[in-house]
Amino acid sequence: MRYSVMILLLSAAVLIGASMTGANYRDIFGKEFLTKPWAGGQVKESVCISCHTSDIIKPEYRDIPQEWKQSWHYQNNVSCKDCHGGDPDDAEAAMSPERGFIGTPDYAEIPQVCGRCHIGILKNYLESGHGRALKASKTGPNCVTCHGSHNIQKASIKIINEARCSRCHSYERAKVMKQALFLTEKKIRDIDEDLKRLKRAGVFTDEEDKTLFRTHVEYRTLFHTVNVELVKKSTDKFAKKLGLIEDKIDKTFRELEFRRNFSAFFMMLFTVMGIVVFMLSRTYKD
């Protein structure tokens, strides 16, 4: 007993002693160990963020990283480089035109910048009244006019509202468009909610998510024509596509219901068996 305690105390002393050596190693490690994600080394911080949150940048540009971190782009891994070009890994060449840096695009060029990813929308927008106005006057509404720049949120039907639209024209026409979009948008929102519920129930909905996303994008693209008649005409086609997703979701909910009932049956079966065995064991004891 005495020797065991001595060995234990000695081991503790050796370990504590060893921990006092190599302080530099442990200091570095201590910083990385828990305060950051443990594999933090894998993800480099962009030099754009480093500069735009430091004192070397003008105060009006310092809020940009924070705005971006609240955006839909951030949630979908769209970062500074994707819109502004440049090299986020190299502080020296971060803003070099050779590395594709374009900085703040010209007002009239903004649709081209956004359109590098939102290809279908760009096409419809350019053919729309909005796009034609921009082309004609260089001051017509572009993407940023309705969606903002860094704090871009997931687009919804709410974006069409009197305050926003009446900055340029009367709300009447936009209101008719909103009404034409309403039912399909509601259906998309409902399906989205159902998919979230399925995810919470542990169902992997990747395929349905992608189909919904594609359908939604297609629908939104169509909306950017600002052509009410075209939207109304296409509503049936989209309703059919969304209906297929709804059928799949309903089937999955029914499957979950079956699973619940199935395992509940076994739970009750084991409960009854347990009670019977318990009572049997009591009789043997007696």
Partner 1 sequence: MWRRIKKGLEVRIGLEDLVNTKLKRYTVPRNTNIFYTLGGVALAAFIIQALTGFFLLIYYVPHSDHAFRSVQQIMTSVPFGWLFRLMHVVGANLIVAVVFLHMLSVFFMGSYKKPRELTWIAGWLMLLVVLTFSLSGNLLPWSQLSYWTTTVVTAMPTAFPYVGDYIANVLRGGEFVSGVTLNRFFALHVALLPPVFVLFLVVHIFLIRRIGLSSPPFGEQTAGSGEWNEYRHVSYPDGYSFYPYFVLKELYMVLAYLVVMFFVITFVPTLFLPQGANIPADPLKTPAYIKPQWYFLAPYQMLKLIPNKFLGISIQLLLLAMFILWPFFDTGRERNILKRPLLLVAFLASLLLWIVLTVWGRTS
Among 43, 56, 136, 163, binds partner 1 (CB under 8 A): 43
* Minimal distance, residue 68 CB to partner 1, in Å: 16
Among 6, 10, 19, 182, binds partner 1 (CB under 8 A): 19
Structure tokens at 108: 């009239």
Helix, strand, or coil (residue 280): helix
Q: Does 29 bind partner 1 (CB under 8 A)?
A: yes
Among 6, 10, 33, 166, binds partner 1 (CB under 8 A): 33
Tell me which residues in 185-214 interact with partner 1 (CB under 8 A). 199-204, 206
Give the amino acid at 186.
Answer: K
Residue 11 or 166: which CB sits closer to partner 1? Answer: 11
Q: How far is CA 136 from the centre of its chain?
A: 35
From 160, 273, 186, 176, select the one nearest 238 (Cα to Cα). Answer: 186
* Minimal distance, residue 194 CB to partner 1, in Å: 15
* 78 φ, ψ (degrees, to nearest 5): -95, 115
73 CB contacts (<8 Å, ≥6 apart)?
79, 82, 152
Tell me which residues in 124-153 interact with partner 1 (CB under 8 A). none
Give the H/E segment covering residue 152.
Answer: none
Which segment (15-23, 64-72, 131-139, 148-156) binds partner 1 by CB under 8 A?
15-23
Q: CB–CB of 215/238 below 8 Å?
A: yes
* Minimal distance, residue 25 CB to partner 1, in Å: 5
Dist. CA 139–CA 108, nearest whole Å = 7
Site string for partner 1, 218-257 (x = CB under 8 A): ----------------------------------------
**Which stretches of 138-227 are DSSP H helices?**
143-147, 162-165, 172-200, 206-223
Query: Tokens 């009854």 identify what position?
Result: 272
Residue numbers at the binding site for partner 1 (CB under 8 A): 1, 4-5, 8, 11-12, 15-16, 18-19, 21-22, 25-26, 29-30, 33-34, 37-40, 42-43, 77, 199-204, 206, 259-260, 262-264, 266-267, 270-271, 273-274, 277-278, 280-281, 284-285
